[in-house]
Amino acid sequence: MRIATWNVNSLNVRLEALLGWLERSPVGVVALQETKLTDDKFPALALRQAGYHVCYAGQKTYNGVALVSREEPREVLTALPGVDPEAKRFIAATVGGVRVVNVYVPNGQTVDSDKYREKLVWLDALESFLRQEMARHPRLVALGDFNIAPEDRDVHDPAAWAGSVLVSPPEREAFRRLLALPMVDCFRQVDGEGGRFSWWDYRAGSFRRNWGMRIDHLLASPEQAARLTGCHIDRAPRAWERPSDHTPVVAEFA
DNA sequence: ATGGTTGTACGACAA
């Protein structure tokens, strides 16, 4: 089964891109972040007509997550225990025997901000949740926009970014704690090269210059990681007209 | 590379 993650930065703007991408790249599940739609505006019909089930948790203007899947999602959960349930950043469901946990981790803004402290609290809550969830669901995938570049090779200019949000040591420690659960960083397992990014700023021609970061991840429990047969970043949609600033990351499991 | 853009929504904020 192919499992993918894509921060679409407004599903309203990106619906045609998503449908076009699904047509050329069919998946078992794609996890979406930043849908920026209330649930009454979610394009469930268009996605059902494309042959997918959907579950979603949205709000006005900000955040919003969804799972788009070939098989019906079961045991859907739309709140991460221990954090503000009003910010729609979390949705989990069981699809085809795999527990899929879709996260839009808070960006954190700057390392001296309240939002940064909230990000670290959010990551603590995620770690606790995943530890419990893995005990119940040996086949577990946690994926989404983590807003963390795990290592310097995941950053185009590590010196310029040193200590900043997305790369700061406490954030990277939180990410390593997720890996210590243990979970496998699927892309890193397959591709140890640096300079492979999933996000590029809209400004300054960043995509053209490959000034980006790898901040979108798929983490797999050991049992699920044993089935991993491939993982790649699909850069194509980032070059399409009116793109998201993120591009899809796709893992393949036997 | 600390915003040169984009999205939401119509000014300002988030990313």
**Mean pLDDT of all residues belonging to chain A:** 98
The answer to whether A249 CB is within 7 Å of strand B is: no
Question: Which of residues 7-46 of A have CB within 7 Å of strand B?
Answer: 9-10, 12-13, 36
The pLDDT tens digits for A167-219 are 999 999 999 999 999 999 999 999 999 999 999 999 999 999 999 999 999 99
Closest listed residue to residue A92, CA positions, set A62, A134, A61: A134
Which two structure tokens, joined as six digits, stand for A3?
A: 């499992």
The answer to whether A213 CB is within 7 Å of strand B is: yes
Nucleotides of B under 7 A from a protein CB: 1-9, 14-15
Question: Residue A209, exposed/middle/buried by CB under 10 A (0-12, 13-18, 19+)?
Answer: exposed
The pLDDT tens digits for A85-143 are 999 999 999 999 999 999 999 999 999 999 999 999 999 999 999 999 999 999 999 99
The answer to whether the beta carbons of residues A190 and A228 sit under 8 Å apart is yes
